Amino acid sequence: MHPGRRKRTLMTDQSVTKRTPTMTEASPRRRRKEARPAEVLEAALETFARKGFSATRMDDVAARAGIAKGTIYLYYPSKEALFEAVVREYLVENIARAEAALAHPAPTHAERLRRAVGIMGQVILDPRRAALPKLVLADGGMFPEIARFYRREVVGRGLGLLAGIVRAGIAAGEFRPVDPEAAVRLFVSPILITALWQITFSPVEEHSMPPETLLALHADLFLRGLCVSPPEGDR
């Protein structure tokens, strides 16, 4: 973007997230210093989410984090690096949560999908986390590395996980024989759209539909469409 800025790859830079969680953090001053990068990251997430990459000023991030502008550069060598750190940090967190949630066992495969809706909804309806897909969408074009990373680590792994459930359901005769890859894309679409919708329109919308209603209907409709025989207690 800006000429003469060093362009590091997304994955190789680990120097920043130097967290020592195992150590019993003692003095408040020490604690503060240790927490700095995370505080900056959070301030950056909120600012990037609201304005996008280009329109975010380092001043804004610093002000929101309650530190001086120059201090950011102690932890992140450039605005781009900060952006990438934000995306990576919160993305990885999102993935971990979703994976953990999806791993829970359930009586039927339909039930597992139904729970997946709940879990993903919970994760993504937190405005802090919903910001991620939006950022990837908005600025991914200028950060191919981020788009690639998101595609591989978030979308790829998430869809893979879900596709495994669908595949198992088909094998068990519970689901109709559809293309699992395609089915899971359809499955996550309303969840994503709901998150993006919230972010985009909540400032300009007086009365919006509660996401829970939407996602409940989604689970019903989708499973009814997918299952060989409709689930019993269907409303």
Partner DNA sequence: GATGAATGAGTATTCATTCAT
Partner DNA sequence: GATGAATGAATACTCATTCAT
**Footprint on this chain of a copy of itself (rule: CB under 8 A):** 1, 50-55, 79-80, 134, 136-142, 144, 147-148, 151, 155, 178-179, 181-183, 185-186, 188-190, 192-194, 196-197, 199-201, 203-205, 209, 213-214, 217-218, 220-226
Give the range of 78-86, 132-140, 205-213, 225-233 binding DNA by CB under 7 A.
Answer: 78-86
Please report, as residue ranges, which positions from 36 to 55 form the binding site for DNA (by CB under 7 A).
36
**127 with 198: CB under 8 angstroms?**
yes
Q: Which of 17, 52, 64, 77 binds DNA (CB under 7 A)?
A: 77
Tell me whether residue 116 is exposed, middle or buried, using C-beta atoms within 10 angstroms of its C-beta: 0 to 12, 13 to 18, 19 or more: buried
**Residue 69 binds which entry of DNA, a copy of itself, none, with Cβ cut-offs from 5 to 8 Å by kind?**
DNA
**Cβ at position 185, least distance to a copy of itself in Å:** 6
- Among residues 40, 140, 131, 65, the alpha carbon closest in space to that of 94 is found at 131
**Residue 71 binds which entry of a copy of itself, DNA, none, with Cβ cut-offs from 5 to 8 Å by kind?**
DNA
Q: What is the DSSP letter of 155?
A: I
- State which residue, 73 or 197, has the beta carbon closest to a copy of itself: 197
Chain mean position to CA 230 = 31
- Angle at which helices 79-103 and 127-139 cross, to 10°: 120
The values of phi and psi at residue 227, to 5°, are: -75, 150
- State which residue, 17 or 78, has the beta carbon closest to a copy of itself: 78
Cα–Cα distance between 211 and 197 in angstroms, integer? 10
